[in-house]
Amino acid sequence: MKKGLLICCAALVLSMTACSTGAGSSDQSNNQHNALIQIKDFADRKIAFDAVPQHIVALSNGETDIIYALGGELVGRPTSTTPLATKAAEDVEQIGSAHEVDLEKITLLRADVVLGNNPMNTKDIPILEGVGTKVILTSANSVDEIEKQIELFGQLLQKEERASELVQQIEEKLTQYEGNSEVPKPRALLVYGAPGTYMAALPNSLSGNILELAGGTNIAADYPSLQSYPQYAQLNSERIIEANPQLILIMTHGNPEEVKQGFLKEMQTNPAWSSLEAVKENKVEVLPSELFGSNPGTRILESLDYLHEKLEVLKQ
């Protein structure tokens, strides 16, 4: 069934492409100009809607949270084992994730728009648009980008006032953390982990940005980024030991205890790790996946508070 449906989708894409003439492009441009809602996504793409979309699909938990926080609803949400902040979203159809989109389910849901990731879901745009579904691409590599997501989705749902309130709450939270700059900031190492694979989160990652805004110093700030994962870097034992982090925080989508034990086991291969302040003070912890494993949406307030409290303890 899936193969047949996707073949039909592909055929429709080709058919629509063949019918796209110069006049058609002009009509489309005029319709977009006269549309009720005109937005520009994070990929600098202009998308227009004649009315507030009623059938919305989100490919990540962050977008799911934001839509419901704005008073909207979804017909499709990401497949996830992470607890949802909104009970109303629990019974919504699961449609895969930004990493692996279930195009068949989205087609059957007759989605008006899919909220995807830039640039991960760029490749999915032709087939989705071919079946009549518009695509909005955003990203969440910083608190600032989450605020922009909220504003963009507020525009999409015509809930700009509510969006402004949510952004203001985040800004007020950040203002609370602006303390004495003369007080040394606790040194921390953020590790993204899965059994056998561990990377250091850089400042250009969401978790790295949260760490700095919450009042910490990222000891991996100047590590060279990985080509495949530009928000992360390879762990460097020598530099970590030299920086002597006071706190080591692990993020994971897998079993938290399994990942933590695997990381501790890997640390034991280098006896020098035992000299780290974080290890000696038992400050190696796994962060809550719903707040740090991916974009938490409006729950970024909880993420900031959680990390800020951890850092404040180290200052005492």
259 shares a domain with 214: yes
Q: What is the CA radius of gyration of the chain?
A: 22
Strands 187-194 and 113-117: unpaired
Long-range contacts from 154-160, C-beta under 8 angstroms, 24+ separation: 154/70, 155/37, 155/39, 156/37, 156/39, 156/49, 156/52, 156/53, 156/113, 157/52, 157/67, 157/70, 157/71, 157/72, 158/37, 158/52, 159/70, 159/71, 159/72
Q: Which residue has the higher pLDDT, 21 or 57?
A: 57
- Total structural domains within the chain: 2
Distance CA 146, CA 167 (A): 9
Residues of the chain above pLDDT 70, percent: 88
218 shares a domain with 166: no
pLDDT of 32 reads 61
Q: Which residue has the higher pLDDT, 176 or 255?
A: 176
Query: Residue 119, preceding bond cis, omega within 30 degrees?
Result: yes
Give a yes or no: residue 2 inside a domain: no
Give a yes or no: residue 13 inside a domain: no
137 shares a domain with 78: yes
Q: Which residue has the higher pLDDT, 114 or 3?
A: 114
Give a yes or no: residue 91 inside a domain: yes
199 shares a domain with 157: no
In order of 101, 116, 123, 138, the CA distances from 120 in angstroms are 11, 8, 7, 10
pLDDT of 180 reads 60
Distance CA 153, CA 30 (A): 23
Final residue belonging to a domain, choices 141, 174, 207: 174
Final residue belonging to a domain, choices 117, 149, 174: 174
Strand, coil or helix: what is 18? helix
170 shares a domain with 62: yes
pLDDT of 293 reads 84
Final residue belonging to a domain, choices 150, 174, 198: 174
State yes or no: pLDDT of 30 exceeds 70. Answer: no
Q: Which residue has the higher pLDDT, 195 or 301?
A: 301
234 shares a domain with 153: no
Strand, coil or helix: what is 199? strand
Give a yes or no: residue 239 inside a domain: yes
149 shares a domain with 201: no
162 shares a domain with 48: yes
Domain range for residue 124? 35-174
pLDDT (tens digit per residue) in 161-199: 999 999 999 999 999 888 666 788 999 999 998 777 899
pLDDT of 259 reads 84
pLDDT (tens digit per residue) in 69-128: 999 999 999 988 777 778 888 899 999 888 888 989 999 999 999 999 999 999 999 999
Backbone phi and psi for residue 68, each to the nearest 5 degrees, phi listed first: -70, -35
State yes or no: pLDDT of 11 exceeds 70. Answer: no
pLDDT of 157 reads 98
Give a yes or no: residue 53 inside a domain: yes
Cβ-contact 111, 57 below 8 angstroms: yes
Average pLDDT, the chain: 87
Give a yes or no: residue 17 inside a domain: no
Cβ-contact 70, 165 below 8 angstroms: no
Q: Which residue has the higher pLDDT, 234 or 2?
A: 234
pLDDT of 263 reads 85
- 247-274 average pLDDT score: 86
Residues in the chain: 316
pLDDT of 258 reads 85
The CATH number given to whatever domain includes residue 46 is 3.40.50.1980
State yes or no: pLDDT of 12 exceeds 80. Answer: no
130 shares a domain with 84: yes
